[in-house]
A and B are shown apart, each in its own frame.
Chain A
Amino acid sequence: MAEKLLFIVFAAFAVAGALGVITRSNVVHGLILLVFTFINVAGIFLLTQAHFLAVIQILVYAGAILVLFAFVVMFLNLREFQQEEQFHRGQKWAVVVLAPVMLAEIVFVVTAVTWSSVGDGFTPEAIAAQGGNVMVLGEQLFTKMLLPFEIASLILLVGMVGAILLAAKEDGESVCLREWDDDDCVSASLVEREV
């Protein structure tokens, strides 16, 4: 019963945080609310006996990834955007209608289906008997899931190389997104000074 209560609390916080993320105009506020949401999700992982994932959620997501975001947010001067319109004018209303309807549909489907367990036997008790969540998960990761694991490392490597390439400063004179439109051209040095 206590678990259910905790789940409701975590879930409510997570949803509230998420709503905050998409409504705040200040990016830094949004970022902090996102961290808050992730921590609550980590709490739900904990409730589900996924200890390792809960830790990873906080370390990698709330830690590494969001720190990266914070770094870039600070790197760029974003204050000027706060004065601008934050929402699409027409699209806003489409979304206000569409998102609740989608949500209702998903909830309808999810609740209409009777979920039954496959029952593979890895109950929390069994896992605890075998040495705990981290140990069993690790064992599976390095045996059954070894190939995907290696591929994941490759994806990270490619992501890293790609990020470096994309973010590297070009040393051209002026950069035109649309080559035919001269007004669109921006001198690189000018941007660099600003960035």
Chain B
Amino acid sequence: MVIPIEWYLVLSAFLFAIGAAGVLMRRNLFIVLFSIELMMNAVNINLVGFSRLHENLIGQNFVLFTMTVAAAEAAIGLAIVTALYRNRRTLMVDMFDVMKG
């Protein structure tokens, strides 16, 4: 293996941390969704890297399913965004504070 597995993992860790930071600190719902996509991509990199390491294709197959789920998630997420915007006329996440009992 030409490129050491650690490189993949470290890159994935960077992207994941950046994505997590984006989810946690951005107020704009779109950027939050982007950040989630970033985190998923970090996972994909891991899967592909391990697929290469273990010399099989299971990881790559898995990435296909991850993408499927990401696509569905994006569609639903965007639908929610539109619904929210229609009802509240804002997309600032901290304005939605009804998630309490």
Q: Which residues of A contact B (CB under 8 A)?
A: 3-4, 7, 11, 14-15, 18-19, 21-22, 24-25, 27, 30-31, 34, 37-38, 41, 44-45, 47-50, 52-53, 56-57, 60-61, 64-65, 68-69, 72-73, 75-76, 78, 81, 84-88, 91-92, 94-96, 98-100, 102-103, 106-107, 110-111, 115, 117-123, 126-127, 136-137, 140-141, 144-145, 148, 152, 155-156, 158-160, 162-167, 169, 175, 177-178, 186, 188, 191-192, 194-195
Question: A167-B82, A177-B88 are contacts. A86–B27 as well, Cβ < 8 Å?
Answer: yes
Residues of B within 8 A of A (CB): 1-3, 5-11, 13-22, 24-28, 30-31, 33-35, 37-38, 41, 44-45, 48-49, 51-57, 60-61, 63-65, 67-76, 78-83, 85-92, 94, 98
Q: Report whether B34 and A111 are in contact in the complex, using a CB–CB cutoff of 8 Å.
A: no
- 4 extra interface residue pairs, beta carbon distance < 8 Å, beyond A76-B81, A81-B28, A95-B21: A96-B25, A102-B20, A107-B10, A167-B82
With CB as the reference atom, state the residue of chain B lying closest to A140. B57
In the bound complex, CA of A25 to CA of B67 (Å): 27
Asked if B17 and A99 sit within 8 Å, CB to CB, the answer is yes
Inter-chain contacts of B86 with A (CB < 8 A): 169, 175, 188, 191-192, 195
The main secondary structure of chain A at its interface with chain B is helix
Cross-chain contact of A118 among B2, B54, B71, B98 (Cβ < 8 A) = B54
Residues on B with C-beta less than 8 A from A88 are: 24-27, 94
A127 to B82, CA, bound (A): 45
Q: Provide the residues of chain A in CB contact with B15, threshold 8 Å.
A: 14-15, 18, 37, 41
Q: Knowing A34-B37, A69-B78, A122-B57 are in contact, say whether A152-B48 is a contact too (CB < 8 A).
A: no
